[in-house]
Structure 1
């Protein structure tokens, strides 16, 4: 059975347009593979605390006994998120654009899973990713305007660079743009078609 990690980062939870694209992606994966095992994180429902100096210190500590209870909990959460990441075949990310960037809740998830010695290592020849189980990532991103392929699209390269850094290289995007300017239903329909075409070949 295929295992899928689903991450929604819309502040509107399941009502967000990016979440609708995520749900369609999951449905498409079910049609492609039959039963799948889902790990779902809705970051608007269960947000991850933003990175602090205390958190970084905890992540780098060799002995957890010296950490405060709060720091131990942060390390435990990070370990859980990393274990989820390392256990799945596919990842589906819902990423709306807020003020030209990704949601801060998604950035927190990234900060908790990028840990030296666990998801990447530094070597004499540079950093090496340690997450080699993920076959494909589908990123459903929604924008009010038209940004794909322009300097204002700060999401695409950032997410590619971040995932590549930990060893994940097979990344596809389904964009739903101009949602504040044109017919939303039609834009979503076109994005659904794009998602279906991506899933057909995973």
Structure 2
């Protein structure tokens, strides 16, 4: 049985991408799809920085790590362990200030690494190392960013696709984006409802991917 990992990246109970996560999970359960959730906010990942490299050096030398180094090393380990075990990864996240939430960025930072998610060949070209994995994008944004004029400023879905699909090399099997519910409040309920139905369909379609 394939291991499905759902990466939840919104801690707002009324957030639209939270509703997308909940809709996906409910349908996955209805389809008897086994999955685990990695809530990047609940995991309280430490910010990626020098503390991690200090931790590596101290651990190798048998030296005691300080509190920040321990937290960074723990964040590194649990992020990579979760991603390594997954065959399919579902990312549920909002567009906040034109990009992804910082907590999701931390998960990416800890899993984005030469020798783990990619490598360089003898000519210096990037080679993806996660081509055996698949992923799904579930994202929400209150404005409309699918237009040619606004699309270049959208750095959440584009970023995840560039990293997960481009660098890591995972195959995207579905993408659902709910947008415009804040820009058009009169149709917000309709926009969200239609999007959630697409999320449910993505969960149902996943059963074929897992065969």
Structure 1 and Structure 2 fold alike (TM over 0.5):
yes
Q: Which has the larger radius of gyration?
A: 2
| 157-166 vs 52-61, greater mean Cα deviation | 52-61
| Residue deviations 1:78-111 (CA, integer Å, cap 9, x gap) | 1221121111222121111111111111101100
User: What is the aligned residue count?
Assistant: 198
Corresponding residue for 1:55?
A: 52
Say whether residues 1:193 and 2:197 are aligned partners. Answer: yes
Moved more, 50-59 or 18-27: 50-59
Mapping of residues 4-43 of structure 1, within 5 Å: 4-12=4-12, 14-32=13-31, 34-36=32-34, 38-43=35-40
Q: Gaps spanning 5+ residues in structure 1: where?
A: none
Question: What is the DSSP-based 3-state SS (H/G/I as helix, E as strand, rest coil) of the residue aligned with 1:151?
Answer: helix
Query: What is aligned with 2:101?
Result: 103
Give the one of 69, 73, 76 matched to 2:74: 76
Q: TM-score, normalised by structure 2?
A: 0.80
Cα–Cα, structure 1 residues 90 and 79, in superposed 2: closer, same or farther, change >3 Å?
Answer: same
- Residues 5 and 84 of structure 1: is their aligned pair in 2 closer, same or farther, counting only changes over 3 Å? same
Matched-pair contact (CA < 8 Å) for 2:90–2:137:
yes
Distance 1:61 1:128 in 2: 30
How big is the shift at 1:28?
2.7
Asked whether the equivalents of residues 6 and 37 of structure 2 are also in contact (C-alpha less than 8 Å), the reply is yes
Higher alpha-carbon deviation: 89-98 or 54-63: 54-63
Sort the Cα spacing of 1:17 and 1:58 in 2 relative to 1 into closer, same or farther, 3 A: same
CA–CA separation in structure 2 for the residues paired with 1:120 and 1:166:
6
Report how far residue 48 of structure 1 moved: 1.3
CA shift at 1:132, angstroms? Answer: 4.0
How much is the aligned-residue C-alpha RMSD, in angstroms? 2.5
Supply the distance in 2 between the matched residues of 1:60 and 1:129 (Cα, whole angstroms). 27
Compare 151-160 and 66-75 and name the one that shifted more. 66-75
TM-score, normalised on structure 1?
A: 0.83
Q: CA deviation at 1:151?
A: 1.7
Q: For 2:77 and 2:135, how far apart are their aligned partners in 1? A: 21
